[in-house]
Amino acid sequence: MSILSPDGLEAALRAIGEERYHIHHPFHHMLHGGKLTKGQVQAWALNRYYYQASIPAKDASLLARLPTPELRREWRRRLVDHDGDGVHPGGVERWLALTDGLGLDRYHVVSLEGLLPATRFAVDAYVRFVREKTLLEAIASSLTEMFSPNIISQRVSGMLRNYDFVTEQTLAYFTPRLTQAPQDVAFALSYVKEHADTAERQEQVLAALRFKCDLLWAQLDALHFAYVAPGLPPPGAFRP
């Protein structure tokens, strides 16, 4: 591949989202379309908790490798967003408000008993990718946030409309994400466009985003397989 302009790179990144972002996954369509039972929504929330809870570990290991105070302050904001400041709850705490609202026992959720092994493998692969790959690839893997406002607004409006067991309070996790994600993207995308300055680095950046899309997709595959069709939760996993 020959080198792309920065805007050409951005277009190539957006094309990956068009093809691979999990907004196209049938489980997502069922989730926001009101086609799932409460037990299936519980399974989604319980599994997705492990992803949410692992994000700060991912961000902390990326933070640890950033070379300047400016870059570290920028990335530190993500830790505040997810872990809170001791007064305002962070994303992990807000996700537990969602699992509470769905009637799941908080102790059970946090224990990770009942988690699908495939969720664990995919999420752990993400944390390790960020820990082990170049900084550029690690930052690029965060760029699925370019696509998240769309999926979040579909999810929130669809779930509120279609499930009587879901309230605005239950979904309070998502509201701050609508402003946090674009702020995160503004930084990460400009970093990537500036630092992916060879064809090889651009290919790494595109591969990192593909990898990230794949692992979000794989999480919905596992949920769909276990709880929708054919509906075969593996031994030991949560049963609604």
Using CB under 8 A as the criterion, which residues of the chain lie in contact with a second copy when the complex forms?
Answer: 19-20, 26, 116-118, 120-122, 124-125, 128, 210-211, 213-215, 217-218, 221-222, 224-226, 228-230, 232, 234-236
**Closest separation between CB of residue 122 and a second copy, Å?**
5
**Closest separation between CB of residue 185 and a second copy, Å?**
21
What is d(CA 222, CA 236) in angstroms, rounded to the nearest whole number?
Answer: 14
Helices (H), 84-233: 91-101, 106-111, 117-132, 135-140, 148-162, 174-195, 199-227
Closer residue to a second copy in complex, CB, 8/117: 117
Closer residue to a second copy in complex, CB, 9/118: 118
Q: How many helices (H) and strands (E) does the chain have?
A: 11, 0
**Closest separation between CB of residue 219 and a second copy, Å?**
9
Closer residue to a second copy in complex, CB, 87/232: 232
What is d(CA 186, CA 21) in angstroms, rounded to the nearest whole number?
Answer: 19
Query: Kindly report the CA angle at 47 between 185 and 109, in degrees rounded to 5?
Result: 115
Closer residue to a second copy in complex, CB, 234/240: 234
